């Protein structure tokens, strides 16, 4: 029997009473550890977090909580090697891909630690300037409306997807903790080990108040039932589970605030000014290959649809395929390997099914199954090389509404700008689109035109080709989320990321009271 990992709830480690769900190495196939949440006293654990964790956090100023995040960063940095080891074993990722998750999470925490320091020694935030409601000219007094943001007096339940066990935790926990709201995280089960280990290290280091951070691994049963009026739930995962969350009585009856990050059929768009010899074309090819390779395409922001002018459909297909053919795909323990594994057998099967489904409406331009895999037993390993599809008929439904959560993307030809915009909009709301052009006026207009359907538009013009942050990289400075099928959520975006964990109230007060609320930072 492998080790059964403990949950952390009520300020202490607690074991589930069941046999546990095994987590596997997706490359070698062996069982690694088990997780279990059977029999936990969820009501007491949530209550402890609300009372002990919440009160202690709210007693601190933003600057003090920022310092606390800084201390969390130090704990995580001290244990980085263990995290890389867990990621390779449990997620099957090469070192660079583990970095996106592990160092990406630590960077996001560090970013919010800095931001928190700039918010100063206060315990609430002002929202905009006061607006006058009434005046007594004789007495020289005014009655004003001043909006303020105060931390919600509940817990933040974070229900996360399997693909980012580290970043997925910290990109939500950093703004929550900085806001003064305790966190209970329920990681995606197949890769829960890394989340559990990070929470364990941070709790045991004693750098957070008791109850500020909890982790429940394994079944999600009963979690939503615990939520009360001032709690919030932030969900990342599939559209199907999102529906379950949205329709739970906690949301429909108790008005628990919910943020949903769901699936997304993201686009890369080469504008018509760019021909096959342009820098923009080279940038597009580089980004597409990168997005298919990194974490084997298991990124919510990965490029799924590639829009190119129809005149260069074939040359784009050849250029992307030539680079995909050079990728070493296989066992992340082999230093030559640049692309590792999918996270589980279930995920491998789902991706293969999704690919077969897409192929009913698309041609295969580069067939990943023809690549030899490095250092793996294909009967055991959940390793899959990238496949590029092409949709000569850009009107096919499936390419616009099917997210295959793996190394699969579809090249789509378009006739003109209006045609491309209409096709991109058929994704019905995405997390991100990238735009590639050497014509700054056209790039600016195109990005404004598609912004309504995207949480983020990443524009790559030749002047920023070497310094941009990458189509799929989520930076804490910029909003993460997207309308429509992407879930309608908003995370990060600097200080905006704190909004979800605060309550906005309008105070109608004398100007003299409003003046006392202006705390300098």
The residues carrying an active-site annotation are: 261, 300
**Whether the Cβ atoms of residue 260 and residue 488 lie closer than 8 Å to each other:** yes
CB of 244 to ligand NAP, least distance (A): 4
Among 189, 226, 317, 437, binds ligand NAP (CB under 6 A): 189
* Helix (H) or strand (E) segment spanning residue 224: none
Contact stretch for ligand NAP (CB under 6 A) within 201-209, 257-265, 374-382, 422-430 = 257-265
**Whether the Cβ atoms of residue 110 and residue 70 lie closer than 8 Å to each other:** yes
**CA dihedral sign of residues 200, 201, 205, 209:** negative
Chain CA centroid to CA 146, Å: 33
Contact stretch for ligand NAP (CB under 6 A) within 183-191, 269-277, 281-289, 442-450 = 183-191
Query: What angle (nearest 5°) sits at the alpha carbon of residue 81, between those of residues 76 and 82?
Result: 80
Binding of ligand NAP by 431 (CB under 6 A): yes
Query: By beta-carbon distance, which residue lies closest to ligand NAP?
Result: 237
C-alpha dihedral (193, 199, 203, 207), degrees to nearest 10? 140
Tokens 């996106």, residue located: 100
In 3D space, the residue among 301, 289, 298, 308 whose CA is nearest the CA of residue 437 turns out to be 308
Among 195, 214, 226, 236, binds ligand NAP (CB under 6 A): 236
- From residue 387 to residue 406, the character string flagging contacts with ligand NAP as x (rule: CB under 6 A) and all else as - is ----------------x-x-
Binding of ligand NAP by 501 (CB under 6 A): no
Binding of ligand NAP by 259 (CB under 6 A): no
Query: CA of 515: how far to CAs of 123, 216, 510, in Å?
Result: 16, 44, 9
Reading the block at residue 22, the tokens are: 């095994």
Contact stretch for ligand NAP (CB under 6 A) within 99-107, 199-207, 261-269, 326-334 = 261-269
67 strand-pairing partners: none
Contact stretch for ligand NAP (CB under 6 A) within 153-161, 277-285, 375-383, 446-454 = 153-161
Among 90, 108, 163, 214, binds ligand NAP (CB under 6 A): 163
**Whether the Cβ atoms of residue 292 and residue 409 lie closer than 8 Å to each other:** yes
Binding of ligand NAP by 478 (CB under 6 A): no
DSSP letter at 330? Answer: B
Angstrom distance (rounded) from CA 183 to CA 51: 12
Among 14, 174, 268, 300, binds ligand NAP (CB under 6 A): 300
Among 97, 103, 263, 490, binds ligand NAP (CB under 6 A): 263
Binding of ligand NAP by 346 (CB under 6 A): no
Residues 6+ away with beta carbon under 8 Å from 22: 2, 31, 32, 33, 34
Binding of ligand NAP by 40 (CB under 6 A): no
Among 12, 145, 220, 478, binds ligand NAP (CB under 6 A): 220
Binding of ligand NAP by 427 (CB under 6 A): no
CA atoms within 13 A on the CB side of 103: 9
Binding of ligand NAP by 91 (CB under 6 A): no
How many helices (H) does the chain have, and how many strands (E)?
16, 21
Among 150, 238, 473, 478, binds ligand NAP (CB under 6 A): 238
Of 240 and 397, the one with the shorter C-beta distance to ligand NAP is 240
* Count of positions on this chain that bind ligand NAP (CB under 6 A): 25
Helix (H, G, I), strand (E, B) or coil at 502: strand
Contact stretch for ligand NAP (CB under 6 A) within 111-119, 230-238, 377-385, 437-445 = 230-238
Contact stretch for ligand NAP (CB under 6 A) within 54-62, 128-136, 139-147, 256-264 = 256-264
CB of 168 to ligand NAP, least distance (A): 7
CB of 261 to ligand NAP, least distance (A): 3
CB of 443 to ligand NAP, least distance (A): 25
Angstrom distance (rounded) from CA 401 to CA 396: 9
Query: What angle (nearest 5°) sits at the alpha carbon of residue 117, between those of residues 113 and 120?
Result: 145
Binding of ligand NAP by 82 (CB under 6 A): no
Reading the block at residue 422, the tokens are: 């209409």
Give the footprint of ligand NAP on this chain (CB under 6 A): 159-163, 186, 188-189, 220, 223-224, 236-238, 241, 244, 261-264, 300, 403, 405, 431, 487
């Amino acid at each position: 029997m492998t080790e059964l990992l403990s949950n952390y709830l009520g300020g202490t480690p607690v074991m589930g009473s069941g046999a546990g769900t095994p987590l596997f190495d997706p490359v070698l196939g062996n069982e690694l550890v088990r997780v279990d949440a059977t029999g936990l006293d969820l009501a007491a654990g949530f209550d402890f977090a609300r009372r002990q964790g919440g009160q202690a956090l709210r007693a601190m100023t933003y600057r003090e909580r920022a310092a606390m995040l800084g201390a969390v960063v130090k704990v995580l940095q001290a244990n980085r090697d263990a995290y890389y080891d867990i990621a390779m074993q449990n997620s099957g990722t090469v070192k660079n891909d583990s970095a996106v998750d592990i160092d990406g999470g630590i960077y996001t925490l560090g970013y919010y630690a800095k931001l928190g320091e700039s918010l100063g020694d206060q315990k609430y935030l002002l929202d905009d300037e006061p607006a006058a409601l009434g005046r007594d000219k004789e007495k020289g007094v005014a009655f004003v409306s001043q909006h303020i943001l105060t931390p919600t007096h509940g817990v933040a339940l974070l229900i996360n997807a399997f693909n980012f066990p580290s970043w997925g935790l910290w990109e939500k926990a950093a703004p929550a903790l900085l806001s003064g709201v305790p966190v209970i995280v329920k990681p995606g089960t197949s890769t829960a080990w890394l989340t559990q280990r990070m929470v364990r290290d941070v709790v045991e280091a004693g750098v957070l108040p008791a109850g500020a951070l909890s982790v429940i691994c394994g079944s999600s049963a009963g979690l939503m039932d615990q939520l009360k009026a001032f709690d919030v739930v932030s969900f990342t995962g599939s559209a199907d589970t999102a529906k379950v969350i949205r329709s739970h009585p906690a949301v429909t009856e108790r008005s628990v605030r919910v943020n949903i990050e769901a699936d997304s059929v993201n686009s890369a768009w080469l504008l018509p000014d760019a021909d096959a010899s342009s820098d923009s074309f080279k940038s597009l090819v580089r980004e597409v290959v990168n997005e298919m390779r990194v974490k084997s395409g298991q990124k919510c922001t990965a490029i799924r649809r590639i829009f190119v002018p129809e005149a260069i459909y074939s040359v784009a297909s050849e250029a992307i395929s030539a680079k995909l053919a050079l990728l070493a795909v296989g066992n992340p323990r082999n230093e030559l390997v640049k692309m590792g594994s999918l996270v589980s057998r279930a995920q491998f099967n789902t991706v293969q099914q999704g690919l077969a489904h897409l192929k009913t409406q698309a041609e295969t331009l580069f067939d990943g199954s023809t690549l030899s895999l490095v250092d793996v037993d294909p009967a055991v390993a959940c390793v899959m090389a990238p496949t590029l599809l092409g949709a000569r008929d850009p009107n096919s439904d499936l390419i616009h509404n099917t997210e295959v959560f793996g190394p699969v993307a579809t090249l789509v030809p378009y006739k003109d700008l209006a045609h491309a915009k209409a096709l991109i909009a058929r994704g019905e709301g995405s997390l991100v689109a990238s735009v590639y052009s050497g014509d700054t006026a056209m790039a600016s207009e195109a990005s404004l035109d598609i912004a309504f359907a995207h949480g983020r538009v990443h524009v790559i013009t030749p002047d920023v080709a070497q310094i941009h942050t990458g189509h799929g990289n989520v930076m804490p400075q910029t909003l993460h989320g997207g309308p429509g099928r992407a879930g309608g959520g908003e995370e990060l975006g600097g200080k905006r990321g704190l909004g979800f964990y605060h309550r906005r109230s309008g105070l109608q007060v004398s100007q003299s009271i409003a003046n006392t609320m202006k705390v300098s930072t």
